[in-house]
Every structure is written in structure tokens, then in C-alpha cells.
Amino acid sequence: MEQLINLGVKGHLLIEKIKNGIREVVYNDHNDILPNYKNIIRHSIAGDATHILDNINILKSSSLLASSPITQVEYTATTDNEVKFTAIFDEVSFNDTFDEILLSSTGGGDFSKVDGLSIAKDDQTQLSLSWTLKIINQ
């Protein structure tokens, strides 16, 4: 018997600036899941290692300012429908104001994004990003 599984994904992004050991939340809201997400998931399930979610990209006017590999992936038995990806942009990664962030797969493209931002980062500030994806039944 064949079963129809209709799953979707919701996302949430937390961005914190870290300067002199002090954390400041600068974004704490949802993100847009891009149509390409199904392609990335399909390839991942098939074992295609090039389609894992492995980096976060920061852009200004659609031009890449910086990219950081995902440094930590968290999931637990109690939150079996959620996965959290963490990345850090250090002080020297870039010094500018950005307007868009993408959760991406090197081989598969962009999975989700947040745009319409205006967040400044100087060369004395780190950015900590925690991107949580929740699988939902549609």
C-alpha cells in the first residue's frame, strides 16, 4: 500500500550580535522557505552528500558579503520534528550592513531566506545565527 506524505517546513531565525561579551538580539522571527527546499530534501534522502544544508550566506543588494559553514546541528528525541543549525561570523568576516540571509546547500542551492533586513556589523562584532527548521504536516 502506498501512503501519501505531505510534509512542509517552517523556519525561524535568531540573529545575535556579540560585542565585548555582550549579546544583543537583532532578529528573532520567521523566515521564508524557498520552493527549492523539496529538491534539497529529495537529494538528501537519496544520500546525495552535496545537498546537505551546510552554510549560511549573508548578502547586501543580492551580492555575497560573507559565508559561514554551519558549525553545529542540533536535534533531540523530544523535538523530533525540529533541527537547529548554528553558524558564527567572526569579527573579520565582513564589515558592512546586510539585507538578506540564506540557509543553503553548496550543491543544492538555497533552502530558505530572510530579506528586507538592515543590520550593520563592524569589525569588532561577531554574529551568532541559530536557524531552526520544523517539519509540519500539511
Closest CA to 130 of 83, 90, 81: 83
CA–CA distance, 86 with 28 (Å, rounded to integer): 14
pLDDT (average), residues 15-40: 95
Q: Which amino acid is at 138?
A: Q
Strand arrangement of the beta sheet that strand 55-60 belongs to? 32-33, 109-121, 96-105, 55-60, 63-69
Query: What is the per-residue pLDDT for 8?
Result: 81
pLDDT for 6: 66
Quick count: other Cβ atoms within 10 Å of Cβ 22? 8
Sign of CA dihedral 33, 36, 40, 41: positive
- Higher confidence at residue 125 or residue 38? 125
For 99-115, what is the mean pLDDT?
96
Question: Which pLDDT value is given to residue 1?
Answer: 40
| pTM score above 0.95 | no
Average pLDDT score over residue span 115-128: 97
The mean pLDDT of 112-124, rounded to a whole number, is: 97
pLDDT at 137: 73
